[in-house]
Structure 1
Amino acid sequence: MNSAQLLWGLLFGSLGAGYFVYGKKQGAIVPLLCGIALAVFPYFVTNTWLMVVVGVVLAAVPYFVRR
C-alpha cells in the first residue's frame, strides 16, 4: 500500500461517513448504502486508479439516483 492509496482511502472514507450520517438522518436509503460502500471498499481495492474510479462512481450515485 502506498501513500496515494492511503490518501484516496481517507478521502472516500470521510465522504462515505458524511453520506452515511446524511442518509441515516434523512431516512434515505441510497446515500446510506453508498456511504457504507464508500467507507468499506478501499480495504478491498488494491489498484489506485481502480480505487479512484470506483470511489467517484459511488460518490456520484446519490446525485443521480433519488429515492
Structure 2
Amino acid sequence: MLLSVLFGAIGSGYFLYGRKQQAVVPLLCGLVLIVMPYFIPNAALLVVAGVAVSAIPYFYRI
C-alpha cells in the first residue's frame, strides 16, 4: 500500500511537470506511474517497474 502511494505521488509530480512544460515523456510516465499500482499486485515487481518508469524521463528527453 505504501509503495502505491509513493509511486502515485511521483507520478503526480511527473504528470504536473509534463503538463506545465508541455513535455510528452514526463506526462506519459506520470500517467503510467499513477495507474500502474492498480494492475501490479506483487510488491517486488511494483518496485522494479516503478523505478524503471521513474528513470525514463531522466534518460529519454525530447
Match in the other structure for 1:42: 37
Match in the other structure for 1:3: none
Match in the other structure for 1:64: 59
Runs of 4 or more above 4 Å deviation: none
Task: Return the alpha-carbon distance in structure 2 between the equivalents of residues 47 and 23 of structure 1.
Answer: 28
Give the unaligned 5+ runs of structure 2: none
Match in the other structure for 2:16: 21
Superimposed CA distance per residue, residues 13-66 of structure 1 (whole angstroms, 9 cap, x where no aligned partner): 000000000000001000000000000000000110000000000000000000
Larger-Rg structure = 1
Match in the other structure for 1:8: 3
Give identity over the alignment, percent. Answer: 56
**Which amino acid counterpart does residue 44 of structure 1 have in structure 2?**
F
Match in the other structure for 2:46: 51
Task: Return the alpha-carbon distance in structure 1 between the equivalents of residues 39 and 10 of structure 2.
Answer: 17
Give the unaligned 5+ runs of structure 1: 1-5
